[in-house]
Chain A
Amino acid sequence: MGETITFWVLAVVSVSAALGLVFSRKAVYCALMLGVVMLSLAVLYAVQDAPFLAAVQIIVYTGAVMMLFLFVLMLVGVDSSDSLVETIRGQRFWAVVAGLAFAALVALGVGNVVFAPAAGLGAVNAAGNVPSLAELIFTRYVFAFEVTSALLITAALGAMVLAHRERLEQKATQRELSRERFVKYGEEGLDPSPLPGPGTYARANAIDMPALLPDGKISKLSVNRYIARYEAEEGTIDPKVAEILEGEDK
């Protein structure tokens, strides 16, 4: 009875989370939905007398793989979204048709099966779930288990090949960087000092506040171009800043 109730509750939770995963536009929501699906699966495994699988599901998939997904999302940028422009016309429509047809086929196929009641689970788990699994992994399936190591080595090696960059020249020292700045100052007149920072006032401390020169004028170098352009489009730009920018452009 308890198993049935758990199943129906989790079925609703996991299927709606899976649908949310597919239809959500934001990558972070997708990742969290995936986490919900994985946790529901773990509980289902536990109810099905597979405690080891349930623990592994939570530790490895939800705990490690899921977090890795999130890290990658953070690195790429939470706000970045995929381009949803179809490059092949009508592709999405036909993908949906094919997907639904496939789902219907599998549902009909598997739904037509008459399952005999599960037999032998108690006998297999008699020695304990984990020892029984260990026996299978280290006797019947030991070769598959060992060969998996080749897969892991390949993955590590591949990550190194694709991502590791050898430093081909010495890293520039502080002294060299400083020299380079002054050479540029001499040749092109570039200021060797850093750009003036944004302004700091009693009531505001933000990157869109321009720094003031000693005579009270705005330093153009401290104005962030991108923010200024955004503000100009939104119409919220400080008129003084706009004046400075326009004056210099011409």
Chain B
Amino acid sequence: MITAPTIEYFALAPLLIIFGAAIIGVLVEAFAPRYLRRAVHVPLTLLSLVGAFALVILQTVRGVPTTPAAMGSVAVDGPTLFIWGTILVLSFVSVLLINDEEQFVPSAAAVPGSAEEEKAITEGAAHTEVYPLALFAIGGMLLFPASNDLLIMFVALEVMSLPLYLLCGLARRRRLLSQEASVKYFLLGAFSSAFFLYGTALLYGFAGTVDLLGIRERLAVGGGGTETLLLVGTAMLGVGLLFKIGAAPFQAWKPDVYQGAPTPITALMASGTLVAAFGAVLRVFWVALGNDSWNWEPIMWGVAALTMVAGSILAITQTDIKRMLAYSSIAHAGFLLVGVMAVGERGQNALALSGLLFYLVTYGITTVGAFAIVTLVRDPGGEAWHLSRWAGLGKRSPKLAGLFAFFLLAFAGIPLTSGFFGKYAVFRSAVALGEAWLTGLVVLAVVASAAAAFFYVRVIVLMFFSDPSADGPTVVTPSWATSTVVGFSAFATVALGVFPQPVLDLAEKAAKSLFVQ
């Protein structure tokens, strides 16, 4: 006789809404006539995101649950709710970008450059499947940082990644590059998932459970002759997770994929996926392996240092605007990893967690804004990807170039932008630990930030202080959706740079209860 499981539907409601809307989206694909599909998908997708966000707020107001939901599978706690809210906002603006312009291939099965593709373009064919696929990816992003055992975390990892592999290959222009990006991402992603799975198996061998709390309890007991399983398992699990955040030496996929993917999908990946993956990293390393921190911290130290140095230095050599932003994203992943190591007693953990949450919000919003601007600067063959094409943009289109410059300054962490307070919050928590090795890393991070500022400023100089070429790119008039995205990002970047306290308070409140332990 099996007793029925208890499912806390209210706690899981944001997830269920997103997955439900995705499945309805698939049914729309199956039954709605072609001309109606987009008209149904757009409100359905946006409303489901708004609904999920409203439910997250409602849960926060009604009190954060203190026990894991769904038989201990999903931990809906303070940090989770904050991360969910962040991902939902970032997804909402990314979906506005996805909806905005014909960024996607009309017929993915047609050979690039063939007459058939030409025909599909003139017929106005479109893959409206991108909406349900994006929703599935967002659902995976929500589940990933909330997973309370390694098994569901693996399933969430796949649910998040599989739609993204597909969406990466659907760019309308430079299709071969896009397909190459998709295949690369798929192969490397599958490889890293295998590492994650092997690590999970070895940790099971150590602890006898895949439950994060179970592993924690087993670690507290110690002994038993199976410590090497713990070490090898931790390393492999780390490879799988660090791949997803794009930390060096697992960063190689990021520039290629960001460059090849349709820009709205790049925006979704650079913001939502990064936030989700960091949530998962924190949960694994703080909850499950928190008692083992002296074992993984030295490796994490090396990874963080390598990531920020590699990201900052390689970004300088880039000539493609999207690749440059990808390397900038790698450098930011390195800065964020500094906060992951700032663990100590409870108050210190809360400080580090709130810093990380705040950083993730500011970086995500600024990134979406920057990629939204990239979609607007066009050459005859698509987006003006080469940096030299951006020369003199400030003289032709000062408003747009000004906004882009502002976003770049936020990436660099100049005061009066949100990026400054993000970096400050993370680095402060690391210094507050008072350990020389971590303070040294913060110094390195500040130096790397300065090096990174060099290439941001180089782009700004290129835009404002060089002459525009006669056949320069055109700046298209943004649609209401893109204008909204750019406006929202710019507003949030200013607001969080001038008056960050409300969001900082919110992050602190979310971080106070820490993860469910």
* A interface residues, Cβ below 8 angstroms from B: 105-106, 109-110, 112-116, 134-135, 138-144, 147-148, 150-151, 153-155, 157-158, 160-166, 168-169
Contact = CB atoms under 8 A, between A and B. Distances in A.
B125 to A, nearest CB: 7
B109 interface: yes
Interface string B212-228: 00000000000011101
B232 interface: yes
Interface of B: 2-5, 7, 12, 19, 22-23, 26, 29, 70-74, 107-110, 116, 119-120, 123, 125, 127, 129, 132-133, 136, 139-140, 143, 151-152, 155-156, 158-159, 162-163, 165-166, 169-170, 202, 205, 224-226, 228-229, 231-232
Given A139-B3, A157-B26, A158-B166, A144 B129 contact: no
Contact of A143 (B3, B74, B225): B74
A148 B19 CA distance: 11
Given A109-B232, A153-B136, A158 B162 contact: yes
A53 B109 CA distance: 37
A142 B162 CA distance: 21
Given A142-B71, A143-B70, A143-B152, A163 B109 contact: yes
A154 B166 contact: yes
Main secondary structure on B side of the interface with A = helix
Contact of A153 (B26, B107, B123): B26
Given A141-B73, A161-B127, A161-B170, A147 B159 contact: yes
Main secondary structure on A side of the interface with B = helix
B70 A166 contact: no
A144 B152 contact: yes
B437 to A, nearest CB: 25
A147 B156 contact: yes
23 contacts: A110-B202, A112-B228, A113-B205, A114-B225, A115-B226, A116-B225, A135-B2, A139-B4, A141-B71, A141-B152, A143-B7, A144-B155, A147-B159, A150-B19, A150-B139, A151-B158, A153-B136, A154-B162, A157-B132, A161-B108, A161-B129, A161-B166, A166-B107
A180 to B, nearest CB: 17
A151 B155 contact: yes
Contacts of B109: 162-165
B107 A162 contact: no
A144 B133 contact: no
Nearest to B158: A151
A142 B5 contact: yes
Contacts of A113: 205, 225-226, 228-229
Contacts of B156: 147
A169 B118 CA distance: 13
Given A144-B152, A165-B107, 19 more contacts: A105-B232, A109-B228, A140-B5, A140-B73, A142-B5, A143-B7, A143-B71, A143-B74, A147-B152, A151-B159, A157-B132, A158-B163, A160-B129, A161-B108, A164-B109, A165-B110, A166-B107, A168-B116, A168-B125
Contacts of A165: 107, 109-110, 116
A115 B205 CA distance: 9
A158 B129 CA distance: 9
Nearest to B231: A109
Contact of B22 (A114, A116, A140, A150): A150
B507 to A, nearest CB: 27
A44 to B, nearest CB: 15
Contacts of A142: 5, 7, 70-71, 73
A150 B140 contact: yes
A170 B4 CA distance: 54
Nearest to A169: B119
Contact of A162 (B29, B108, B232): B108
Nearest to B104: A161
B436 to A, nearest CB: 30
The 7 A-B pairs with the shortest beta carbon distances in the complex, nearest first, are: A114-B225, A143-B70, A109-B232, A165-B109, A144-B152, A143-B73, A158-B166
B4 to A, nearest CB: 8
A135 B127 CA distance: 41
Contacts of A151: 155, 158-159, 162
B225 to A, nearest CB: 3
Nearest to A153: B26
B151 A144 contact: yes
B200 to A, nearest CB: 12
A134 B139 CA distance: 26
Nearest to B122: A168
A168 B120 contact: yes
Contacts of B22: 150, 153
A181 to B, nearest CB: 21
Contacts of A143: 7, 12, 70-71, 73-74, 152
A105 B231 CA distance: 11
A110 B226 CA distance: 9
A108 to B, nearest CB: 8
Contact of B129 (A139, A140, A157): A157
